[in-house]
């Protein structure tokens, strides 16, 4: 059994790190390694951080966080500290450090809380707040929130099901990000169409990090009612690539004919992140 596992890990790792393979196959290899788990899978995933595709590297970091294995911490720290890496990749590495929930990452995260790039600074601030909260509430140290999406969250939902109040908190620029993330997570967990539409209003907030995360959770909710807002954000060339990336993934998750047509329209976008995201989203759909 152990020999078979190692063989499967090796095969998936070979596919992941073969730049001649189609990107969709390499993404499937990432998912396979995440599901197989263990330190050897983490080594194969971490080897991919030398790739040229920011979309692939963002996915690598995200999966390492979801695996919640502290063995990945040194590699994630290395990516966060690497100024040559794309912002969305460094953001994903910082996010993963917070998701793993090991307080040994606090020092490096605190260092980057004042980084000149807002997406990196805000991600680290959120991760620090999450780790501090987990330290105070060790019974919830995994970061798992009460939601039906099988997704490891850094923040816990609030005890409130009033959509209008949650939307007000999400859109309140005076609140810190953790409070707004908690409102977002709660709206996501409600899973209703009014809650999904409340989330879409956050796609206009000032923080690119929050807009990116809102698009991510809209992909989890998979409500067709959100198609117009996601399509507008994807089509906006002024929008941050990391936000457009998540909008494309969300459209791929919703997978209606309208969503598919929108994705097809941006397969030749001038931004590589957008092109690759649309291609992968179409494969997913």
Band (pLDDT 50/70/90 cuts) for residue 134 is low
- Averaged pLDDT, 122-143: 70
- Averaged pLDDT, 100-129: 95
Residue extents of the structural domains in the chain: 2-140, 195-284
For 77, other C-beta atoms within 10 Å of its C-beta total: 18
Band (pLDDT 50/70/90 cuts) for residue 203 is very high
Cα separations in angstroms, 46 against 37, 63, 72, 232: 13, 10, 8, 34
The answer to whether 42 and 69 have CB atoms below 8 angstroms apart is yes
Compute φ and ψ for 161, nearest 5 degrees: -115, 15
Is the pLDDT confidence value at 193 over 60?
Answer: yes
Cα separations in angstroms, 257 against 7, 24, 239, 253, 254: 39, 21, 24, 12, 9
Cβ contacts of residue 118 below 8 Å, gap of 6+?
207, 208, 209
Compute φ and ψ for 174, nearest 5 degrees: -80, -15
Q: What is the pTM of this model?
A: 0.89
DSSP state, residue 18: -
Query: What is the CATH code of the structural domain delimited by 2-140?
Result: 1.25.10.10
Instruction: Report domain 195-284's class.
Output: mainly alpha
The pLDDT of residue 147: 54
Instruction: Name the residue with tokens 């939902």.
Output: 157
Closest C-alpha to 137, from 147, 145, 149, 148: 145
Question: What does the block give as tokens for 159?
Answer: 């005890």
The answer to whether 234 and 240 have CB atoms below 8 angstroms apart is no
The pLDDT of residue 158: 83
- Averaged pLDDT, 119-143: 73
The pLDDT of residue 46: 97
Do the domains 195-284 and 2-140 match in fold? yes
The pLDDT of residue 149: 54
Is the pLDDT confidence value at 159 over 90?
Answer: no
């Amino acid at each position: 059994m152990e020999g078979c596992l190692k063989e499967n890990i090796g095969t998936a790792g070979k596919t992941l790190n073969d730049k001649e393979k189609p990107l969709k196959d390499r993404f499937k290899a990432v998912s396979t390694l995440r599901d197989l788990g263990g330190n050897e899978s983490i080594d194969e995933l971490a080897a991919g951080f030398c790739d040229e595709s920011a979309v692939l590297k963002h996915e690598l970091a995200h999966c390492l966080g979801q695996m919640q294995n502290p063995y990945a911490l040194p590699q994630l720290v290395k990516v966060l500290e690497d100024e040559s890496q794309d912002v969305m990749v460094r953001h994903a590495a910082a996010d993963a450090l917070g998701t793993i929930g090991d307080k040994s990452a606090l020092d490096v995260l605190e260092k980057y809380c004042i980084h000149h790039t807002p997406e990196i600074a805000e991600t680290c601030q959120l991760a620090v707040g999450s780790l501090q909260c987990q330290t105070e509430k060790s019974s919830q140290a995994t970061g798992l929130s009460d939601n039906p999406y099988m997704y490891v969250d850094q923040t816990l939902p609030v005890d409130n099901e009033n959509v209008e109040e949650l939307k007000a908190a999400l859109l309140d620029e005076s609140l810190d990000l953790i409070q707004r993330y908690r409102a977002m997570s709660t709206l996501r967990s409600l899973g209703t169409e009014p809650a999904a539409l409340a989330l879409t209003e956050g796609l206009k907030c000032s923080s690119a990090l929050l807009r990116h995360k809102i698009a991510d959770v809209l992909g989890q909710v998979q409500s067709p009612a959100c198609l117009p807002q996601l399509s507008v954000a994807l089509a906006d060339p002024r929008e941050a690539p990391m936000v457009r990336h998540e909008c494309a993934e969300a459209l791929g998750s919703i997978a209606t004919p309208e969503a598919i047509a929108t994705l097809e329209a941006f397969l030749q976008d001038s931004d590589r992140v957008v092109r690759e995201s649309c291609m992968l989203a179409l494969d997913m759909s």
